Amino acid sequence: MPDVKYLSLNGKVVPTADARIHILSPAVKYGTNVFEGIRGYWNNEEKQLYIFRLTEHLLRLQFSMKVMRFGESYTVEHLRDCIMELIKANDLREDTYIRLFAYVDDLDGEMTASGTIGMAIAATPKGRRAKAHDGVNVAVSSWQRISDNSMPPRIKCVANYNNGRLAWMQAKQDGYDNVILLTQRGTVAEGPGACLFIVRDGVPTTSTVASDILESITRATVMQIFREYSDLETVQRDIGRTELYAAQEAFYCGTGHEILPIVSIDRHSLGDGKVGALTEMLRQKYQQLVRGEIADHAEWRTPVYGSS
């Protein structure tokens, strides 16, 4: 159970133990729920919690609900107000992970049920990943990435994540930290819950949005950081499996993963087997931006305390 007193359920702050849905709801029976993960970053000098790219995340949640043909949606303004109220109720003044679930809540509804739509929000403390500093060793999975014509990974539907779960659990059984999935065409897609970049000859490269990946907000942020702070344009194209082994650097990126360096793939070391220079630059600049340690891109940060 989350280590906070309150969650938000259908627009109301409630005790954590009371935030429940029925076992016979379509959300449980058929996985008819979508979600967003959003991070808040504590700036100790300013005594402020900044939510990173909040509006973009909420717009993507609306898109996920649209694709899943939910019968109703929520406005960005309503969701923003619910998040602010919940964080303040829990008095969170540290790095925080915010998770929103929109789900079909018809009691014993059929597979095609599209309403009533429920909304649950959790905001809990969350720090950096354990291996964020030294990087991770990953494998290319034998499990294929789901395609846009089967269960579209472009949206954050909870059921989609079983694909990445199977691949990641197999990789862990085989002694790896994480995993990379390939498309049905055999090109690189992404990791479970994170997009993937490689660096070859100083050029950052990532798979296209037509490669069965999430249209990641962090991915877009990474490309803008490379452009603005290193004068590097990211190449978006198909990436072959063995091309991964030729990379000098690689990293995952995502709200949960942030910037997570990869130091080996299928036991092939990348570069000197340590975190690369471009990846390290990116990681540092990303942390400065999300925490408001530099003034750039203030529009990406929504302050919680002292905000209207």
Q: Please tell me which residue in 156, 172, 274, 285 is annotated as part of the active site.
A: 156
Pair 141, 66 in one domain: no
Can you read off the two tokens belonging to residue 276? 């690369």
**What is the β-pairing status of strands 117-125 and 96-104?**
antiparallel
Rounded CA-CA distance 11/131 in Å is: 36
Q: Are residues 154 and 254 in the same domain?
A: yes
pLDDT digits 0-9 by tens, 153-201 = 999 999 999 999 999 999 999 999 999 999 999 999 999 999 999 999 9
CATH number for position 79: 3.30.470.10
Q: Which two tokens stand for residue 83?
A: 């998040």
Residue 36 covered by a domain = yes
**180 and 218 in one domain?**
yes
- Percent of all residues in the chain with a pLDDT value above 90, rounded to a whole number: 93
pLDDT at 308: 46
Say yes or no: 120 and 144 in one domain.
Answer: no
In a shared domain, residues 157 and 191: yes
Domain span at 91: 6-125
Number of H helices, E strands in the chain: 7, 15
Q: Domain tally for the chain?
A: 2
pLDDT at 109: 85
- How many Å apart are CA 180 and CA 175, to the nearest integer? 14
Question: 112 and 143 share a domain?
Answer: no
156 carries an active-site annotation: yes
Residue 81 confidence (pLDDT) above 70? yes
User: Which CATH number belongs to the domain containing residue 210 in this structure?
Assistant: 3.20.10.10
Residue 71 and residue 150 share a domain: no
Asked whether residue 159 is domain-assigned, the answer is yes
* Tens-place pLDDT, residues 245-301: 999 999 999 999 999 999 999 999 999 999 999 999 999 999 999 999 999 999 999
Instruction: Tell me the per-residue pLDDT of 204-243, one tens digit each, with 9 for 90 and over.
Output: 999 999 999 999 999 999 999 999 999 999 999 999 999 9
pLDDT, tens digit (0-9, with 9 covering 90-100), for 120-159? 999 999 877 667 789 999 999 999 999 999 999 999 999 9
